[in-house]
Structure 1
Amino acid sequence: MAEPVFVIPAPELPSLAVAGTVARFPLRRIFCVGRNYAEHAREMGHDPNAEPPFFFTKPGDAVVESGAVIAYPPQTRDLHHEAELVVAIGVGGADISVAAALDHVWGYAAGNDLTRRDLQAAAKAARRPWDMAKGFDQSAVVGALHRAAGGAVPQGRIRCLVDGEIRQDADLAEMIWPVAGIIAYLSGLVTLQPGDLIMTGTPAGVGPIAQGQTCVVEIDGLSPASVTVR
């Protein structure tokens, strides 16, 4: 079969580092779970028991790797951090059962769902989509991926520090919808594909990152996800 001839240069495939190796993990889509920790749902003014998981997306090329220095995003005065466990899908599928869900996971990483909070608030007030509050350039900071060991989900603390000050600190076990449940539910909405990432929600304590500050997300057993906003 002949190679396709594109009328413009094909975009570069985004990818992530894999811890301990020179290999790269190719990226396709990023799905994000909203309000998956009870205390965060409450701090945003919502009942954590009132709804099943819901999702928004970021483009794959919104990813920036740990250690990056990024510009303060345009059109916002309220850039927020959101520390999250990131799941990398290695085997695709639709209507995946909870029992089989972890067999579809390639690995895990620490991540930061950067959010233009003022734009999000305005979109909510107008009952409009959040896309420009969540899916802007360089809005997904992700650390190096770690291969899932026998399907095991990371356990322990998830933390976010801004210039060394702890802003978020919770246990991964506090997620309302655990990883297997998220995968199963999402795969009933779309067919998951290898290279998809799922950002699994953030605990309470979200807050601003100012120009010149460094924000680091730490998850026990994983590489950190660090970003500096210039």
Structure 2
Amino acid sequence: MFKKHFALLVSAVLGSLLLAACGGASATPTSQPANINNSKPAATASGPDADGDGIPDSAEALLGTDPNNADTDGDGQNDLADAQPTFADNPIQETSTQAGLKINSVLVENNVDATGGGAPDHLELQVTNTGATEMTNFDVYYSTTDLVTNVVQATYRTLPGFSLQPGETKSLHFDNTSTPDHFSVNPNGMYYIDANQLQVDVMLHAAGFAPQTASVKKDASDAETGTD
């Protein structure tokens, strides 16, 4: 049912874009609607498709999906084939209870850069390895909940290249700046477009260690700027 609804939504969005491109004139379809079970369907509206998921970038903005990632929520499914492309179930399954990973703080606004100056609002975790062995193979699962509408988006990401030596403290950033320890996010996600108060819940995991969780609220804001 969810898949059918998303297919209809995609079809409606692409159709509206096509009509807009034609100056609003109606047209008789020349092909069947895109099959969402096909990971590479033919797009029914023109325009660039940066991530090759079959959804034009202009439509991704309307659908709330990531134009630079064919799998917005990280669940392993192409967005067009995914019934819920902005909501992944949590795949983190860790049997170890080994302590050592610590989340010191979580920021979603009022961030600062390395010099102490202001930085654009984004999800930032400061974490420490309190143990005696190196931590590698990190992954993260985080959700964003609109506290007014109760709509939830949830994302899973592996964090390649991130590690913590014994006693080391680092910060993880999710902000699309493509610098070390910074990881990509969906620019069309609720965090960036939803002006209501939000709650962000995070689970961070390093292989062989007990996952750690944290939560933080983001004040109602100007969605386009992230400022209070």
TM-score by length of 2: 0.30
Higher relative contact order (CA 8 A, sep 6+): 1
Question: Which structure features the higher share of strand residues?
Answer: 1
Larger Rg: 2
